Homo-oligomer: A and B are copies of this chain.
Amino acid sequence: MNANLRIDGKRLMTHLDSLALIGQTTEGACCRLALTEEDRIGRDLVVGWMRDLGLEISIDPIGNIFGLRKGTENIAPVMTGSHIDTVRTGGRYDGNYGVLGGLEVIRTLNETGTPTRRPIVVGVFTNEEGARFHPDMLGSLVYVGGMSLEQAYASESIDGKGLREELQHIGYLGQAPMPAYTPHAFVELHIEQGPILDIEGIEIGAVSDLQGISWQEVTITGQSNHAGTTPMYLRHDAGYCAAAIGHFLRQIARDMGGSQVATMGAVTLSPNLINVIAARATVTVDLRNTDETLLKAAEQRFADFLLQLAQDEGVEITTRRLARFEPVQFDQNVATLIADTAEKLGHTVLPMTSGAGHDAQMLARICPSAMIFVPSVKGISHNAAEHTEPAHLEAGTNVLLHTLLELTK
């Protein structure tokens, strides 16, 4: 009987549209930076919806919000959820979809009077984007004990405000124990934010792991000189070194294959003039792999290359680590359950890796976790043009519904 349950796609869209109006920019993006007035209004709206659904609401000292729907037994709940803070030019689905998809599941269960053995909790985690406070995924990180409250409170916003003060200011400095719940399992519903499902024409991604991330900034100090009068053998060209780095990164990705990606996203030359050999260059390096051993190998290969380059070109090269996260293995049983559920519902499925960070990677530290992805048109995200077809949003939420029904058994 439960196998025929379906969520209401139109109703889901109505809720997504309502939340998208809060912090809407003239370009049609959403700007609800964490713990701002816009975030408060968004939180109040979501908490209101939770109340309408009869959920038991709790807020913890890092501002995470939880709405619990009781089970027939008072045991460890199954949790879903995501975040509703955005970057400055956020889309309407990133994060919001996971929270409102979870509430739509609850709404469907309530309307049809469907009980579950385990409770279901919908979580809203604080400052996932990291656009106002560092680090990103802060709320879920603190939730699972990866950072102390004291450390988190010491985080200062880009506009110079303290995190605890801002929580208090918007009325979300809660007192729930932390973690409020140790879930039986966690499933996060999210848009892919990448192009794979869209390009492959597949409806559902069953996410079984998450890439490790290695970010560094490389600074090359060479010597400025005239581009016409300085023979090649006398050059210490920081601009050439920047180019050699970008070229080598592609070679690393090509040689290693698999999930290895490598990007030089930012380059700054000085003095940056057509007829002057650059004295200084700064480039950013983004390396990702799903396997920690391989990611370390990529980093080592890059470090060896820099040593050789500095020697060959007679320049000084320094590096500064900007971020480093190990890859995360999600729970294979939960990922397989997601894939099987999607197939049973008649959807095409791709087992896949997440290239971006998500709250689920933190929850994976305390309970079996995995993610459901739906296609992002052209892979565009963090942009007003972020889009997912309503039919895909509906499909993903139905997969969430039946995955949760199975996990709460």
Contact = CB atoms under 8 A, between A and B. Distances in A.
A247 interface: yes
Contact of A355 (B196, B213, B228, B288): B228
Contacts of A245: 243
A209 interface: no
Interface string A235-257: 00101101111110110011000
B264 A286 contact: no
A246 B254 contact: no
Contacts of A229: 192-196, 354-356, 379
How many copies, total?
2
Instruction: Find the residue from A194, A195, A246 having the highest chain B CB count within 10 A.
Output: A246
B247 A267 contact: no
Contacts of A355: 226, 228-230
Contact of A246 (B243, B273, B288): B243
A232 interface: yes
Contacts of A239: 246, 263-267
A231 interface: yes
B263 A275 contact: yes
A277 interface: yes
Nearest to A213: B228
Interface residues of A, number: 58
Nearest to A228: B355
Nearest to A285: B274
A215 interface: yes
A240 B63 CA distance: 41
A273 B264 CA distance: 9
B228 A194 contact: yes
A272 interface: yes
A211 interface: yes
Given A247-B243, A274-B286, A261 B379 contact: no
A26 to B, nearest CB: 19
A307 interface: no
A227 B285 CA distance: 10
Given A230-B379, A253-B232, A265 B277 contact: yes
A199 B266 contact: no
A264 B246 contact: no
A226 B193 contact: yes
A244 B239 CA distance: 12
A274 B265 contact: yes
A359 to B, nearest CB: 16
Interface of A: 192-196, 199, 211, 213, 215, 217, 225-232, 234, 237, 239-240, 242-247, 249-250, 253-254, 261-269, 272-278, 284, 286, 288, 322, 354-356, 379-381
Q: What 9 pairs across the A-B complex have the smallest Cβ distances?
A: A243-B246, A194-B229, A229-B355, A228-B355, A227-B263, A274-B284, A247-B247, A266-B272, A243-B243
Given A229-B379, A232-B261, A239-B264, 5 more contacts: A229-B355, A229-B356, A240-B264, A243-B245, A267-B267
